Amino acid sequence: MEKVARATLRYLFQEYLRGPSVSYIINRIADSHGADAVEVANYLAERDWIREQWVYQNLQVACRITVAGIEEIDPKYIHNKLKNLIGGLVIEGGTKSLKSILQHKIEEYSIALDIVYQLERLSLITIIHDRGEVNIELIPYGWKFFQKKDRPLLTLMVAAC
């Protein structure tokens, strides 16, 4: 199951880079490994590597990869995105608009929002919606966490899923 799971994650990540807000059919990958797509999706979902799992009447299975799923197959990608996001936030004293952090790179919004959502679930930041802007603010626990640097953030992010 591990081999088909990794192949499925690689496929979902490639597709995510092209269209991050779309669910993708994984049957072709599962079939090529002689696996049942529903079982593969269940395996991935149990590990919080996918979300929005849909099984259609024709047994087509569609889903989206999560930050944890991306981190599982390409930890450097997530680390770099997290570093840019948090680095931009820390430099500005703890509060900054997401648009400013991303320097208006629209292609970065989806992954940034996925990471921001995870950071909010960990109670490290708060998201403030203000007149069409999305502002990110480090809260006291977030400041302590980033100053201590005693735990890998990605490990904490995965645990929060």
Confidence at 98, pLDDT banded by 50, 70, 90 = confident
Full domain range(s) for residue 127: 74-160
What is the share, in percent, of the chain residues with pLDDT greater than 70?
A: 84
> Residues 61, 116: one domain?
no
Cα–Cα nearest to 69, from 115, 19, 37: 115
Quote the pLDDT of residue 44.
Answer: 97
Backbone angles phi, psi at 96, to 5 degrees: -160, 155
Quote the pLDDT of residue 161.
Answer: 42
**CATH number of the domain bearing residue 45:** 1.10.10
Span 101-136, pLDDT tens digits: 766 566 667 777 788 888 888 788 898 888 888 888
> Residues 81, 148: one domain?
yes
> Residues 99, 43: one domain?
no
Separation between Cα atoms, residue 95 and residue 112, nearest integer Å:
15
Q: How many domains does the chain have?
A: 2
Q: What is the dihedral of CA 105, 154, 61, 15, to 10 degrees?
A: 30
- Residue type present at position 48: D
